[in-house]
Amino acid sequence: MSKGPGLFTEIGKKAKDLLTKDYNSDQKFSISTYSDAGALTSTAVKKGGLSAGDVAALYKYKNTVIDVKVDTDSNVSTILTITEVLPSTKAIASFKLPNYNSGKLEVQYFHDHVALATAVALNQSPLVDFSATFGTPSIAFGAEAGYDTTSGNFTKYTAGISMTKPDSSASILLGDKGDSLKASYVHYFDNSKRTAAVGEVTRRFSSNENTFTVGGSYAVDHLTVVKAKLNDHGKLAATLQHEVIPKSVMTVTGEIDTRGLEKNPKFGLAIALKP
């Protein structure tokens, strides 16, 4: 694939990942084994008083990747990814059983100055999503739209722009059919990008509401990272991620409401073993 602007979903993704990824209020345990042909992962999750689990198998053959997951509710999810179907093109087919209407086919095209993606829901009322991004890895602008072929209405349309430098990334997204405006900025303090600060502000025009969130991450050493975030509603969350043994990570998360300290705090624990 080319080193172009990336898909539209990449706009604002760095800030979103820094503010959401690894923050977990559940208890989760997973173990994975790897080989040259793929991987096998078993996961158990306890959320509240409910427990669930799944087993996922990933198989690679030449330019094809097959990902199959079976969970405790007897759902079978399959994702088939084929790269270089055509030059600079990737095709992704996904479906879930027994929900026969969950099938989706997506085609992605990458160029040095443009990235396109089209997804079609394979059911009786097809939904079509399309996105396009233009520019370079340093500056990109694009838009996405969703169309319901049955009603003839647009289900969504979003536009955005991003500017990326080696030590920072900024983006602006106009979404929710023009009802919300989100601006975010990430600044990195080391070459590994494990120590960073992030700020995000969202304006919703229909409700005249603003939401502001700040956060960051700090690499204590090469094995440990601490992350924290706080929004203007008083929600404070922090997470500690430590590599116990090579490639095996333990993550501890806590969240409190600073405006309602009488409420019980939330705690989460995730252990991912990759022997």
Residue showing tokens 């990430």 = 186
Largest CA distance in the chain: 58
Residue 72's alpha-carbon distances to 75, 89, 269, in angstroms, are 7, 35, 21
Residue showing tokens 């990814």 = 81
pLDDT at 156: 92
58 and 65 in contact (C-beta within 8 Å)?
yes
Q: Which CATH class is domain 12-273?
A: mainly beta
Q: pLDDT per residue over 124-146, tens digit each?
A: 678 899 999 999 999 999 999 99
Residue showing tokens 């990272």 = 225
pLDDT at 150: 85
- Work out the pLDDT band at 120, boundaries 50, 70, 90: very high
Those residues whose C-beta lies under 8 Å from the C-beta of residue 80, and which sit 6 or more positions away, are 64, 65, 66, 67, 92, 93, 94
Query: Does position 187 have pLDDT exceeding 90, yes or no?
Result: yes
| pTM reported for the whole predicted model | 0.88
Residues 221, 205: Cα–Cα separation, whole Å: 43
* Tokens linked to 160: 């955005």
* Radius of gyration from C-alpha coordinates of the chain: 21
E-strand ranges in the chain read 27-35, 38-47, 50-61, 64-71, 76-83, 89-97, 104-110, 114-121, 127-135, 139-148, 153-165, 168-175, 180-188, 196-204, 209-219, 224-231, 235-245, 248-257, 266-273
* Tokens linked to 112: 């040095």
43 and 270 in contact (C-beta within 8 Å)?
no
92 and 106 in contact (C-beta within 8 Å)?
yes
pLDDT at 260: 87
**Mean pLDDT rounded to a whole number for the chain:** 93
Residue showing tokens 């977990």 = 24
Q: pLDDT per residue over 223-244, tens digit each?
A: 999 999 999 999 999 999 999 9
> For the chain, which residues make up each domain, given as ranges?
12-273
Residue 62's alpha-carbon distances to 46, 82, 89, 91, 165, in angstroms, are 37, 9, 15, 14, 34
For residue 162, the SS3 value is: strand
Q: pLDDT per residue over 11-70, tens digit each?
A: 999 999 999 999 998 999 999 999 989 999 999 999 877 899 999 999 999 999 999 999
